Amino acid sequence: MRKIFWNRLLQAALVAWGVGTLTFVMMRSLPGDMAYRIAAGRYGYDNVTAAAAESVRTELGLDQPAVVQYFNWLGDLLTFRLGHTMVSGAPVIGEVQHQLGHSALLAFVALFFSILIALPLGIFTAFRQGGWLDRGTLFVSSLLRSLPVFVVGLVLILLFALELRWFPVAGFGSVRHLVLPALALALTLAAVSSRVVHESTYQVLQSGYYQFARLKGLDNTAVFMRHGLRNMLVPVVAFMGVQLITLIEGIVMLESLFSWPGIGHGLAHAIFARDIPMIQGAALVMGLAFVVLNALIDLVCYSLDPRSQLT
């Protein structure tokens, strides 16, 4: 338990250091004199003088050696002083908070949909191993996992927005805007997770303790609820940890495709606009969210499986 906590805390620190270092290098590798650039941002391009640039330089410590600046940069990062975006001038922290909420909504709904698809389908096909539904889902899943998530989203747009006109193409505002991006992500997630549910359930059904519980005379529902469900859930929840990567990458891609105002959209736009404070804020928050979610999965696995609590 304590080990989980320290490992993930170390990872969070490594994320902050990695993102901070990369963006620092990015900042230093931009062309031109940084003091002049910041002065131009503050006073307008027509009002930049050598004196203004010098005052900026001393104020921000830009005349100090690179190593000192590097540690200042990391210090700012650790105290969450993320600066202002270069595009609109708004504080990065506010922008990121705003975007994180939208992303969390999309991720949560997508995850919910994917569980709604994968869990019943996986369990049902495990009871009918080799049946037509089992072979059918296996085939569909193998096709679906060969499509990058943005292609799934694109096909849904073509089908349900442009041809059938059931849902808006892109944007944000009503529940209808949420359906297509969430569905695209849910399909991509469920393509793999439904098979994991299937295999995990099938293994439980074949096991000695399950067969014994049936022989005791328990009926199908009781034996699955009492002996099947919890055992079958442990690998499934652990797999959700592996799928977190798919979830976050899917968020980045689908938000860009659907113009969903979330953090992935923010990151892609910031990179396109070379808006370094924003890149740093978005990547940092995304990395930290990834670590926190991983820690949560660890905790759920820990509480689901009493065997892991012995050590």
Partner 1 sequence: MSTTEQKILSRKQWAGITILGLLALFALLEWALNDADPYQQNLIRYFAAPSWQEPLGTDQFGRDMLARLGAAVRLSFALSLLCVVSAASIGTLLGVVAVWGGRSADTALNLLVNTLMALPGLVLVLLLAALVPGSFLMLYLALSLILWVEYFRVVRAISFSLKSSPQLQASYLLGFGRWYLFRRHVWPNIAPAIITLAAFGAANSIMAMAAVGFVYVGLKPPTAELGLMIVELFPYYSDAPWVLAQPLLVIFLLVLGFNWLAGRRHPLANEN
Binding site for partner 1 (CB under 8 A): 7, 10-12, 14-15, 17-19, 22-23, 25-26, 29, 142-143, 145-148, 150-151, 154-155, 158, 162, 196, 235, 238-239, 241-242, 244-245, 248-249, 252-253, 256-257, 267-268, 271-272, 274, 279, 283, 286-287, 290-291, 301
Which is nearer to partner 1, 185 or 283 (by Cβ)?
283
DSSP state of 33: -
CA distance 125 to 14: 42
Least separation in angstroms between residue 272's CB and partner 1 is: 6
Least separation in angstroms between residue 271's CB and partner 1 is: 4
Q: How far apart are the first and last CA of the chain?
A: 9
CA distance 200 to 119: 11
Least separation in angstroms between residue 253's CB and partner 1 is: 6
Which is nearer to partner 1, 1 or 14 (by Cβ)?
14
Q: Which residue intervals of the chain are DSSP H helices?
A: 2-28, 34-43, 50-60, 66-78, 92-127, 132-144, 149-156, 175-206, 208-215, 220-223, 229-258, 263-273, 276-304
Which is nearer to partner 1, 53 or 118 (by Cβ)?
118
Alpha carbon dihedral 170, 277, 80, 60, in 10-degree steps, equals: -160
Quick count: other Cβ atoms within 10 Å of Cβ 44?
9
Which is nearer to partner 1, 69 or 246 (by Cβ)?
246
Which is nearer to partner 1, 137 or 256 (by Cβ)?
256
Of 184, 181, 237, 228, the residue nearest 209 (C-alpha): 228
Which is nearer to partner 1, 56 or 118 (by Cβ)?
118
Helix (H, G, I), strand (E, B) or coil at 31: coil
Residues 133/198, Cβ–Cβ less than 8 Å: no
Least separation in angstroms between residue 236's CB and partner 1 is: 11
Least separation in angstroms between residue 18's CB and partner 1 is: 6
Least separation in angstroms between residue 304's CB and partner 1 is: 12
